[in-house]
Amino acid sequence: MKTTVLLVIGLVLAAPVLAQDPPPLSIRPFAMATGQSFAATQTFNATFGKTFFPFFGGGVQVVVHDTFFVEISASRFRQTGQRAYLNLGKVFQLGIPLTATVTPVEVTGGYRFRFKKFPAVRPYVAAGFGSYGYTETSSFAEPGDDVSTRHAGFVVNGGAEFRVHRWVGIAGDVQYSHVSGILGTAGVSQQAGESDLGGIAARVKVVVGR
């Protein structure tokens, strides 16, 4: 009886330690909030009065041996402003409402670093590509004024994940994206000579899984 009790106590004490061993393959969904500063500053300032906007989305991450990972994410940005044009560097707003929506779908692969002194902190770097949807609509649009298109771009990011629970992590990183082929063909972006729909973003993710 005494041996059995000691064995049970030992298993109970050892369980949290054993549970911390990472599995060889982990599938981890996450929710994500992003704040992006668009590279096309004149275009977004003229249309929306600012260049920094929020995206919201989520995705899933597959981690192999707690080291290598592949991640797919989708997010969405939607903002209403007004049509404008540039003349000699000055912005003239036309008072015509315009709504723009950006929907990135990004796939990245990366590497997670491990420091024995800080096991709850996992820095990481990643790079990959994305498919970026862009729509632009206006209630007073002439035929051909509205836009609906999708183009490819590339992305790199780096940050760290902080394990706050065995099954929950909070990750924060900085991401750079470059997306050509959408802006720069007409309107304010063409007048400003801006063709990059990407920019610099700060992302926060709540990750579920080990």
Instruction: Please check whether residue 70 is in contact with residue 62, taking contact to mean a CB–CB distance below 8 angstroms.
Output: yes
In-domain check, residue 93: yes
Banded pLDDT at 147 (limits 50, 70, 90): confident
Q: What percent of the chain has pLDDT over 70?
A: 87
Q: Considering the domain boundaries, does residue 97 fall inside one?
A: yes
Total of domains in the chain: 1
φ/ψ of 196, rounded to 5, equals: -105, 115
Specify the residue for token string 């990366």.
110
Structural domain boundaries enclosing 77: 16-208
Does residue 8 form part of some domain? no
State the average pLDDT over residues 91-119: 93
Q: Is residue 2 part of a domain?
A: no
For residue 11, is it within any domain?
Answer: no
The reported pLDDT for the residue numbered 89 is 75
Residue 56 predicted with pLDDT over 80: yes
Residue 10 placed within a domain:
no
With a cut of 80, say whether residue 67 has pLDDT above it.
Answer: yes
CATH code assigned at 21: 2.40.160.20
Could you tell me the pTM of the whole model?
Answer: 0.85
Residue 3 domain-assigned? no
Phi/psi class of residue 38: alpha, beta or left (left: φ > 0; alpha: ψ in -120 to 50)? beta
pLDDT score of 3 more than 60? no
Average of per-residue pLDDT across 172-194? 93
Task: Give φ, ψ of 10 to 5 degrees.
Answer: -65, -40
Return the pLDDT at 120: 93
Average pLDDT over residues 82-107: 89
Q: CA angle at residue 125 from 17 to 111, to 5 degrees? A: 50
The answer to the question of residue 1 being in a domain is no
